[in-house]
Amino acid sequence: MEENNTPAAMQDNQSVEGQDSQEAQPKKKRGGFTSKIGFVLAAAGSAVGLGNIWRFPYLAAKYGGGIFLLTYIILAVTFGFVLMVAEIALGRKTGMSAINAFKKLNKKWAFLGVLCAIIPIIILPYYSVIGGWVGKYFFTYVSGGGMSAAGDSFFNGFISSPWQPLLFFFIFVSVVFVVVLFGVEKGVEKVSKFLMPALVVLTIGVTIYTLTMPGSAEGIKYYLLPDFKKFSVKTVLAALGQLFYSMSLAMGIMITYGSYMKKQDKIESSVHQIEIFDTGIALLSGLMIIPAAYAFSGGNPETLGQGPGLMFVALPKVFANFGSVGGGILGALFFALVLFAALTSAISLMETVVSIVIDKFHLSRKKSSVIVYVGTLLLGIPSSLGFGVWSAVSVGGMTILDMFDFLSNSILMPIAALLTCVFIGYVVGCRNLTDEIELNGPFKFKKFFNVMIKYVCPICIAAILITSILDVFGVFSI
Ligand code: TRP
């Protein structure tokens, strides 16, 4: 694979481009992916992160197990497929990043580029808070405290203390900042090509082990067999938000990736590959964590429904079974790999935000990076404190971190996705995009794509959004 296959290389180009007038920028100045596999790996690298390993399992546990899984898979092969194809095609057609792509096609729709830009600004700070938690666990295992991490009160003790989570959050954001500031993402990306497969192998190993534990069978049942009584609009909204989040959709990032894709590479099959990769890792993580929660806490509804802490509570108990040495090594290795996946995604998120600042305010890369760094620190502090000293701040049982998460994934992303569909279906015209997709061969799902973009996606997303917003305001309960 060549140098400029990495998102880092893309982002560099994007930043340079952002300083000049987009339209005047000659095409040849943009770097690009030199091979289809390079494109698929880079996009999958952005997609695979905490969303798959940390967020998917806790949502699946919270929203009814099998029924969430089923809903998620159905949404992934319909909404997820269509939206990812649309975003990549939009990027490749315009050759621009999100903030400018919408503007180029229709001046009145420039606001959609802005909406897409707000989302990563909200995600990055709280993503980094969780990244800090992973850092803490890594540190605990490395310094020989793995057995204590398996204790019942370890996780809550940690997140509710004021300084420790802040310290690890600060370290995490600082590492991301240094990488972005000194532009060493290429090195990070290279290492991640080895570490990502290692993470998959380790996850498979831990999963197989967990599945042999007494009590895990109940967990497998809960996770794999849908219970239709547990189905509700909330399940769909949660699954939809998770889909956008996990596949890095509805925030313009895939538009940017698409803008660097070569005209002769096939969009449709690339999307299939990215989806299989991303969904595969999410499903596997669920299979590792949910049965573990059953084997060690008997499927206690409190553990299952506990939300963001699930991975941190369930896995140390698995590792503890290997004794303090074996478990210590296993835990250190596992959290190191998760930390790495979190770092690569956070780097890509910070890159996105930095290029937005460069584009909008025409500042230097250095200044923009510093602004984004300080802003991320400030915005992340409430999310971190929300589990301790600020735990009184809560809406509908949500902590501050949950609120940011809900705002971006369950409100803004569905709105951005809905508007993107309307924009493509009724302003640009599906034809424009399907022509782009058909540049190199037939588009198998063309009819499906058209119907989904014009009718099914916007109507369903609007219905889901309206019902759940009414629910939040207590107009009626679903
Ligand atoms: N998909 C990432 C994950 O699963 C999170 C994410 C969402 C992301 N949007 C992004 C990462 C944009 C990088 C860039 O963890």
408 lines ligand 1 (CB under 6 A): no
Whole-number Å distance between alpha carbons of 414 and 412: 6
Q: Does 416 contact ligand 1 (Cβ within 6 A)?
A: no
pLDDT at residue 474, rounded to an integer: 67
pLDDT, residue 130, reads 97
Query: What's the pLDDT score for residue 18?
Result: 36
Tokens read off for 470: 């009414």
- Ligand 1 probe mutation, 253, 255, 347, 410, most atoms within 8 A of CB: 253
pLDDT by residue (tens digit) across 154-165? 999 999 998 999
pLDDT mean across residues, the chain: 88
Would you state the structure tokens that stand for residue 372, as one six-digit string? Answer: 């984004």
Predicted local distance difference test score (pLDDT) of residue 359 = 81
Query: Per-residue confidence at 7, pLDDT binned at 50, 70, 90?
Result: very low
d(CA 305, CA 58): 7
Is the CB of 349 inside a 6 Å radius of any atom of ligand 1? yes
Residue that the structure tokens 């939809």 belong to: 240
Decide: helix, strand or coil at residue 343. Answer: helix
CA-nearest residue, atom 7 of ligand 1: 248
Per-residue pLDDT at 332 exceeds 50? yes
Of the candidates 368, 254, 465, 428, the one whose C-alpha atom is nearest the C-alpha of residue 473 is 465
pLDDT at 5 over 60: no
Amino acid in position 134: V
Q: In DSSP terms, which residues pair with 395 in a beta bridge?
A: 398
Q: Is the CB of 52 under 6 A from ligand 1?
A: yes
Among 29-38, 42-51, 336-345, 459-468, the minimum mean pLDDT is found in 29-38
pLDDT at 58: 95
Q: Is the CB of 413 under 6 A from ligand 1?
A: no
pLDDT per residue as tens digits for the range 269-297: 999 999 999 999 999 999 999 999 999 88
Q: Is the pLDDT of residue 109 over 50?
A: yes
Categorize the per-residue pLDDT at 136 as very low, low, confident or very high, splitting at 50, 70 and 90.
very high
Confidence band of 477 (pLDDT split at 50, 70, 90): low
Question: What is the whole-number distance in angstroms between the Cα of residue 58 and the centre of ligand 1?
Answer: 17
Share of the chain above pLDDT 90, in %: 67
pLDDT in tens, 367-385: 999 999 999 999 999 999 9
pTM, full prediction? 0.90
Residue 398, beta-bridge partner list: 395
User: In b/e form, how buried is each residue of 316-344, taking b as 16+ CB within 10 angstroms?
Assistant: bbbbbeeeeeebbbbbbbbbbbbbbbbbb
Q: Is the CB of residue 46 below 6 angstroms from any atom belonging to ligand 1?
A: yes
Q: Whose CA is nearest to atom 10 of ligand 1?
A: 248
Question: pLDDT value at position 478?
Answer: 52
Mean pLDDT of 235-243: 93
Separation of 475 CA from ligand 1 center, angstroms? 33
Per-residue pLDDT at 128: 98
C-beta 345 within 6 A of ligand 1: yes
Report the nearest atom of ligand 1 relative to the CA of 352.
14
Instruction: Ligand 1, residue 244: give the atom nearest the CA.
Output: 7
In tens, the pLDDT along 310-322 reads 999 999 999 999 9
Ligand 1 pocket residue status of 49, Cβ below 6 Å: yes
Binned at pLDDT 50, 70 and 90, residue 397 comes out as: confident
- In the reported structure, the alpha carbon of residue 410 is separated from the centroid of ligand 1 by a whole-number distance in angstroms of 15
Q: What is the chain's Cα-based Rg?
A: 21
